[in-house]
Amino acid sequence: MVTMATTALSSSLTAAFAPMSARRLLVFGGIALIAGGMLFGDIFAVFVLHQNGGRTGETLLAAAQAAAAQDPAGVRAAFTRIGSLLEDRGTKVDTHVHMTDAGYLALLLALVQPYVALRQQRKKRLAQLFITGGVLLPVGIFLIHYVGLAYSPFPVIGWASVLADSAGALLIIASLGEAWGFWKYLRGTRAESLEPNLAADDSWAKRALLSGGTVLVLLGFLYGAWYAAFDLYPQEKQETAILNSLAEQSAANNTALMNQSVNDYGGLAGAKAISIAAHSHAIEFGLLAMLLSFIQPYVYLNEVWKRRWVLVLLAGSIILPVFVLLELKLGLVAGGIADVGGLLVIIALIGMLVGVLRHSGRLDAGVTQ
Amino acid sequence: MSRSSKLLVFGGLALAAIGMCYGLSYALFTEHQTLDGMGGALSAAFVQAAQRNLPQAHAAIDRYGRTKYDYVRQVDLHSHWIGLAMLMIVLGVVFDKVNFEEATRRWLSLALLAGSVLFPFGVILQTASLDAWFPSALAVVGSATVTIALAAVAWGFARAL
C-alpha cells in the first residue's frame, strides 16, 4: 500500500531546511544547475556533437585538398573554419561541465553548512554569490563562440570570456569564504545560531544511492587508470602520425590516401572523446548519486516513488557510460541509448527536485509536529 | 566530527579553491594563447605542405603535438583537482559511517588527500619534461593511492550495512 513517507514534518527537519536559508538556496540552486547542465549536455549530444565532428572532418579534408592544389590561402581559410568549429564544440562541452560541476559544489556546500562558523546572513550572502557565479559562468562560456572579440579592448579575450572569468572569480570568493568559515569552526568558533546537521536517515533510498554512487566512482577511476595506462599515449602518437601522413599525401596530391587519413583522424577523435566521456560520466554520476543520498529526507514523496527515482537515476548512470563505450562497436544506436540514459538521470533528478519543492512548501505552510 | 572527516572536508575545500584559482589563471593567461598556438601550428603545417616543404610541415605538426600534450594535461589538472576535491568533501561528511577504527580512517583520509594532490600534480609535471620518469611515477602512485583508498572506503561502507 502506498503511504506518505512523512505526514507531518519533525522540528529537526524544519530547522535543517529553514526558509531562505543558505542551505535551501544551495540545494535548490545546486539541483537546478545540475539538471540544467545535464539537459544542455543531452541536447548538445543529440543535435551538435556528431554534426560538428562531421563538419570538422570535411573541413580538414578541404584544408588537405587546398594544400594539394598548392593554395596556402585556401589552407588558412580552412583552418580558420576548423578553429571556429572546435571553439563551438569546446565551449559547449565546457558549458555542460561547468554548469553541472557548479551544481555539485553547491550541493556539497549545502552539506557542510553546519561546519561553517559564520553568521547566518553572511552564509546566505556566500550562497547567493556562489549560485550567481554558477549561473553566469556557463552563460559566459556559452557566449564566447558567438560574441568573439566584438568591441573587446583585449587582443585575445572577448567580453563573454570576461563574464565567464568574473563569474569564476565569484565562485572562488564564495568557496574561500566557506573554507574560512570551516577553518573558524576547526579553531573552535561556533556560529550564533548553529545550523543543524542534515536529518539522520538510514532509508533504502539513501543506502542505495550511497553504495551505488561509490561503486560508480570506483568503476570510473579504474577505467580512467586503464585508459591512461594503455590508450592515452598511443593515441597522442597516433594523432601526430595521422597528421604527418595527411600532410605528405597532400604534398603528393594522393586523394585516396588523403581521404583515408581524414577518416582515421575522425575515428581517433571519436575514440578519444568516447573514452573520456565514459570515464568522466561514471565518476560524475557516482558523485551525484552520493550527493543526492543526503537530501533524501527532504524529498517529500511516498516511499515507492522515492525508490523509483533512485532506480531510474542509477539505471541512467550506468546506461550512459556503458553505451557511450559501445558506440565504437555499435555506432549511433549505442549513442542513442546513451542519450536516453542521460535523459533518465535528468528525469530522476527533476522528480527528486519536485519532492524537495513539495517538502519546502509544507515547511513554509507551517506543517510541523 | 572526527579528525579524519575534518581533514577530508577542509582538504577538499582547499583543493577545490586551488583548482578553481588554477583554472581561472589558466583561462586568463594561458588558454587562449595555447589554443591559438595549436591552430597556428596545424595551419602552418599544411601551408608548408602546399609549398611542398615537408620537413617544415613535419616540424609544425610536432609543435602542434607538443602544445596539445601540454594543453590536455593543463586542463586535466584543473578538472581532476576539483573533481577529487568534491569527492573528498562528500566522503568527509559521511566518513564516520566508514566502519573502521578512527586510526584507520585517519590513514585513509590522509591517503585520499595525498593522492588527490599528487596525482594531478604529477600529470602537470609531465609537461616540464617529456622523458622524465618521476612525474609519471608520481601520477601513477597518486592515482593508485586514491583508487586503493576509495576501494577501502567502499569496503568500510559495506561493513556497516
Which pLDDT score, from 0 to 100, does residue A5 have? 45
Q: Do A105 and B47 touch (CB under 8 A)?
A: no
Looking at the DSSP bridge assignments, the partners of residue A9 are A368
Contact assignment for B90 to A79 by CB distance below 8 Å: no
Distance CA A156, CA B5 (A): 44
Give the residue carrying C-alpha cell 561528511.
B93
For residue A63, how far is the Cα from the chain centroid?
A: 34
Identify the closest residue of chain B to A287 by CA–CA distance.
B87
- CA dihedral (A198, A200, A201, A206) in degrees, to 10, reads 50
How far apart are alpha carbons A184 and A167 in whole angstroms?
Answer: 26
- CA A42 from centre of chain: 11
Please tell me which of the candidates A72, A108, A183 has its beta carbon nearest to residue B51: A72
Residue A195: its pLDDT value, please?
66
Check residue B155 and give its pLDDT.
86
Return the pLDDT at A199.
Answer: 66
Determine the 3-state secondary structure of A9 from DSSP: strand
Contact B45 A115 (CB under 8 A): no
Task: Show residues of chain B in contact with A280, CB under 8 Å.
Answer: 79
pLDDT of B2 reads: 87
Among A112, A217, A221, select the one facing B89 at the smallest CB separation.
A112
Q: B16: closest CA among A293, A210, A178, A285?
A: A178
Q: Which residues from B are below 8 Å from A188, CB to CB? A: none
- Asked if B61 lies within 8 A of A240 by C-beta distance, the reply is yes
Q: What is the pLDDT of residues B105-161, one digit of tens each?
A: 999 999 999 999 999 999 999 888 777 889 999 999 999 999 999 999 988 887 766
Query: Over 90: is that where the pLDDT of B45 sits?
Result: yes
b/e B96-107 (16+ beta carbons within 10 angstroms → b): eebebeeeebbe
Q: Calculate the alpha carbon distances from A156 to A87, B74, B108 in Å.
A: 13, 19, 45
Cα-to-chain-centroid distance, residue A78: 31
Interface size, chain A vs chain B, as Cβ–Cβ contacts under 8 Å: 177
The predicted pLDDT at position B17 comes to: 87
- Residue in chain B closest to A222 (alpha carbons) equals B147
Q: pLDDT-based confidence at A16, cuts 50/70/90?
A: low
Q: Which three cell numbers stand for residue A90?
A: 569546446
- The phi and psi torsions of A331 (rounded to 5 degrees) equal 75, -145
Task: Out of A78, A182, A291, name the one closest to residue B13 (CB).
Answer: A182
What average pLDDT does the structure give for chain A? 88
Length of chain B: 161
- pLDDT reported for residue B98: 87
Single-letter amino acid code for the residue at A196: P
Q: Which residues of B touch A68 (CB under 8 A)?
A: 50
> Which residue of B7, B77, B79, B90 to mutate against A (max A Cβ within 10 Å)?
B90
% of residues, chain A, pLDDT over 90: 60
* Residue A179 predicted with pLDDT over 60: yes
Asked whether the beta carbons of residue B52 and residue A214 sit closer than 8 angstroms, the reply is no
Distance CA A285, CA B61 (A): 37
Q: By the 8 A CB rule, do A115 and B9 touch?
A: yes
B86 in Cβ contact with A108 (< 8 Å): yes
CA angle at A341 for the pair A336 and A342, rounded to the nearest 5°: 95
- Tally of CB atoms within 10 A around A178: 27
Could you tell me the end-to-end alpha-carbon distance of chain B, in angstroms, rounded to an integer? Answer: 21
**What is the tens place of the pLDDT at every residue in A42-56?**
898 888 888 888 899
Q: Cα(B118)–Cα(B143) distance, rounded to whole angstroms?
A: 8
Asked whether the beta carbons of B88 and B116 are under 8 A apart, the reply is yes
Model confidence, pTM: 0.85
As a 3-state breakdown, chain B gives helix, strand, coil percent values, each rounded to 5, of 90, 0, 10
- Distance (Å, whole) CA B156 – CA B149: 10
pLDDT at A194 over 80: no
Rounded Cα distance, A321 and B86, in Å: 20
Q: Is the pLDDT of residue B10 over 80?
A: yes
pLDDT in tens, A234-264: 999 999 999 999 999 999 999 999 999 999 9
A365 min Cα distance to partner chain B (Å): 30
Q: Is A28 exposed, middle or buried (0-12, 13-18, 19+ CB in 10 A)?
A: middle
pLDDT digits (tens, 9 = 90+) for A290-319: 999 988 888 889 899 999 999 999 999 999
> Comparing C-alpha atoms, which of A22, A131, A147, A109 is closest to residue A294?
A109
Contact flag B157-A108 (C-beta cutoff 8 Å): no
- Listed in sequence order, the DSSP H helices in chain A are 11-16, 22-44, 50-68, 72-111, 120-147, 159-186, 204-230, 232-251, 255-294, 303-330, 332-364
Rg (CA), chain A: 24
Q: What are the tens digits of pLDDT across the range B64-108?
A: 999 999 999 999 999 999 999 989 988 998 888 888 999 999 999
Confidence of residue A196 (pLDDT cuts 50, 70, 90): low
Grid coordinates given for A85: 568549429
Task: Answer whether A161 sits within 8 Å of B27, measured CB to CB.
Answer: yes
- In this prediction, residue A15 carries a pLDDT of 63
